[in-house]
């Protein structure tokens, strides 16, 4: 086991680690840029060449002026209609907006094929009791953490988690850190992890904490555009730690975020702008539904990570992706809750293995019905409450290593 990291401070991270930090390339992440076709216009705008022959249609300046006026009039009418719909029926406006955005997103999904990598990709489902904490070690040496919390606010899992990740993050750096949503079973001790490591890029909900630290700049606060706020101390600790982390980039979980190299790709399907506009986080189900659904691809294998996704956002994910995806491993959403892992979603991702991150709880997680749905699809099920820390390793094959068998 590694050193006791409780005694470690950032200032103690050795100079080698610092050099590594500066040498590392800046995060490749960011919103997937919309590809815009370059429409060329030139002085020949008045003439049109037939694709069959060389017949040229010459338009007079007067005719082209008429066409210009008609086009401007159409654009104006459309803009006025859009304005009226937004005024009278904002729900319909945002539905239309989402439809247009989905068209672009689907084009974005036609991503480049990946080449085979020689290294190993590891995903550690760390046993934090009732909660989630996932450490991903990417084959190029970069690291990602998704969530770090415990629903009973137990400090037992804080020290065991810090000890555990210390064995794998020798350079003191976490390249990417994502918080899926603000519940304590996902964020209870994530600030403690931030205190021990240098984080390069944060991916976080578009939600302000009501307890934002005064030292956070107005510009940083202005990034958060949703009307919802969260007032828990747990979220405030994460929020303030992330926004005050020196030299860290903040990326909000909106739209489609892609992190990729030539041989691995993480595609994060976050809530769309439309989702944020139309949904107040008034219920636990809605708070959970902001969880991004992430597909991690490497060497022909696909792993699906879900946070606490549920019957609200699983259909949104399927609609955005379009065609079913043949995946291999599913991090079962929301600790195996009955209202997550709906049958159509399980069929859509079509996985062979399931990992449930779960501990003692009063919610009946994982539900018998959900486990039955997984079993009905012949999935092999691993559980952190029965198997402890679970390591998924992907090279040219896929392998699970369990801290304990049942």
As a whole number of angstroms, the distance between CA 365 and CA 374 comes to 14
* Minimum distance of Zn ion from residue 285's CB (angstroms): 12
Count residues near Zn ion (CB under 5 A).
2
Toward Zn ion, which CB reaches closer, 302 or 331? Answer: 331
Query: Considering beta carbons, is residue 333 or 394 the nearer one to Zn ion?
Result: 333
CA 1 distance to own-chain centroid: 31
240/309 with CB nearer Zn ion: 309
- CA-based nearest residue to 317, from 272, 356, 274, 380: 272
CB 246 within 8 Å of CB 264: no
Q: Is 212 exposed, middle or buried (0-12, 13-18, 19+ CB in 10 A)?
A: middle
Nearer to Zn ion, 334 or 373 (CB): 334
The minimum distance between CB 264 and Zn ion, in angstroms, equals 26
CB of 27 to Zn ion, least distance (A): 26
d(CA 361, CA 151): 8
Q: Return the ∠ at Cα 385 (arms to 383 and 386), rounded to 5°.
A: 70
HSE-CB at 199 with a 13 A cutoff on CA atoms is 28
> Cβ distance 295 to 266 under 8 Å?
yes
| Binding of residue 338 to Zn ion (CB under 5 A) | no
Q: Shortest gap between Cβ of 208 and Zn ion (angstroms)?
A: 21
| Residue 185: CB minimum distance to Zn ion, A | 4
- 185 contributes a contact to Zn ion by CB under 5 A: yes
Nearer to Zn ion, 124 or 334 (CB): 334
* 308: contact with Zn ion by CB under 5 A: yes
Is residue 306 within 8 Å of residue 268, measured between CB atoms?
no
Question: Using CB under 5 A as the criterion, what x/- string covers residues 253-292 for binding Zn ion?
Answer: ----------------------------------------
Stretch that binds Zn ion, among 120-128, 153-161, 185-193, 313-321 (CB under 5 A): 185-193
* Binding stretches for Zn ion (CB under 5 A): 185, 308
């Amino acid at each position: 086991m590694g050193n006791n990291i409780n005694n470690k401070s950032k200032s103690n991270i050795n100079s080698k680690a610092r050099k590594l930090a500066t040498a590392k390339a800046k995060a490749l992440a960011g919103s997937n840029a919309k590809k815009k076709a370059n429409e060329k216009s030139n002085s020949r705008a008045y003439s049109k060449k037939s694709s069959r022959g060389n017949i040229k249609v010459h338009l007079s300046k007067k005719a082209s002026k008429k066409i210009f006026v008609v086009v401007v009039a159409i654009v104006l009418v459309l803009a006025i209609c859009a304005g009226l719909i937004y005024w009278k029926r904002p729900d319909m406006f945002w539905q239309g907006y989402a439809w247009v955005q989905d068209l672009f997103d689907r084009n974005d999904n036609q991503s480049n094929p990946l080449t085979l990598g020689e290294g190993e990709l590891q995903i550690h489902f760390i046993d934090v009791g009732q909660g989630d904490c996932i450490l991903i070690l990417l084959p190029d040496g970069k690291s990602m953490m998704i969530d770090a919390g415990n629903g009973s606010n137990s400090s037992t899992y804080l020290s065991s988690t810090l000890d555990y990740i210390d064995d794998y993050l020798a350079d003191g750096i976490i390249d990417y850190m994502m918080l899926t949503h603000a519940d304590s079973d996902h964020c209870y001790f994530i600030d403690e992890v931030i205190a021990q490591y240098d984080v390069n890029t944060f991916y976080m909900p578009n939600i302000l904490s009501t307890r934002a630290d005064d030292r956070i700049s107005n510009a940083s606060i202005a990034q958060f555009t949703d009307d919802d706020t969260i007032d828990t101390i747990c979220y405030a600790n994460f929020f303030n730690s992330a926004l005050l982390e020196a030299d860290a980039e903040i990326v909000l979980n909106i739209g489609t975020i892609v992190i990729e190299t030539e041989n691995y790709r993480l595609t994060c399907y976050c809530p769309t702008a439309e989702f944020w506009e139309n949904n107040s986080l008034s219920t636990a189900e809605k708070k959970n539904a902001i969880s991004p659904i992430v597909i991690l691809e490497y060497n022909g294998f696909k792993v699906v990570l879900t946070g606490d996704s549920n019957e609200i956002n699983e259909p949104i994910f399927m609609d955005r992706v379009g065609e079913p995806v043949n995946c291999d491993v599913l991090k079962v959403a929301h600790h195996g809750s009955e209202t997550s892992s709906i049958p159509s979603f399980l069929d859509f991702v079509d996985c062979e293995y399931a990992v449930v991150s779960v501990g003692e709880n009063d919610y009946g997680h994982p539900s018998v019905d959900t486990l039955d749905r997984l079993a009905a699809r012949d999935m092999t099920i691993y559980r952190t409450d029965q198997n402890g820390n679970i390591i998924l390793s992907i090279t040219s094959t896929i392998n699970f290593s369990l801290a304990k068998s049942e």
